[in-house]
Amino acid sequence: MDLRESKIGGACEIFLKPSTDERGHFMRTYDSKIFEEYGLPTEWPEESESFSRIKGTIRGLHFQYPPDWETKVIRAVSGETFLAIVDLRKTSPTFGKWDSVVLSATKHNMFVVPRGCANGICTLTENCILAYKMDNHFNPKNQDNILWKDSDIGIDWPINPPVIISARDTSAQTFKQFMKKSKRGL
């Protein structure tokens, strides 16, 4: 595994190293020793999967409030997706800033989204499957989201307008509303 740090503190892209032969490939997607060496969480009480059938599907920007906030490791199992993260940590030097990466099943990369950051995706292919590891349990009473197209954040989405987006994500709060509601960040 190789790691490239993001401009958002605590976030990083991890490049996996498949061993290939005539059968296909085998690769390690998690190693607690390597994660510990990089200072990343090593316990993952939850793992989830999302499937987006249509290219141009947008999900996000999703997050949980403390104490239920969570680190996520996101990997494309099938297809390719644009992943954006927004730093919501009021004490962070990159508070309110965003970064992005393209996750691809053929590129064999994954991305660590640290606690206190919102994340959203835009699928770049049909039949996109993402695997998520989380270091905390999901709490539906403590989840929230920020409008994916908020102009104060200014994410440069690769497909805009989305082909498919949920009513929840379409009617999400703005960054300014989040700031007021959360008393200026997480």
Residue 186 is assigned to a structural domain of this protein: no
Q: What pairing do the DSSP bridges indicate for beta strands 98-104 and 57-64? A: unpaired
Tell me the pLDDT tens digit for each residue of 153-168: 999 999 999 999 999 9
* Residue 71's CATH number: 2.60.120.10
Q: Is 132 a catalytic residue?
A: yes
| Number of domains within the chain | 1
Three-state DSSP class for residue 34? helix
Structural domain boundaries, residue 81: 2-18+26-181
Please tell me the distance from the alpha carbon of residue 134 to that of residue 9, in angstroms, as a whole number: 18
Residue 75 is assigned to a structural domain of this protein: yes
pLDDT of residue 184: 81
Q: Could you tell me the two tokens for 5?
A: 């740090």
Please tell me the distance from the alpha carbon of residue 119 to that of residue 61, in angstroms, as a whole number: 5
Over residues 108-121, the mean pLDDT reads 98
Tell me the pLDDT tens digit for each residue of 60-109: 999 999 999 999 999 999 999 999 999 999 999 999 999 999 999 999 99
Whole-angstrom CA distances from 121 to 14, 25, 92, 164 are 17, 26, 23, 12
- How many other CB atoms are found less than 10 A from the CB of residue 133? 21
Q: Which of 38, 65, 108, 132 is catalytic?
A: 132
Q: Is 62 a catalytic residue?
A: yes
Q: Which of 38, 62, 108, 137 is catalytic?
A: 62
Q: Could you tell me the two tokens for 55?
A: 């290219």
Residue 157 is assigned to a structural domain of this protein: yes
Q: What is the mean pLDDT of the chain?
A: 96
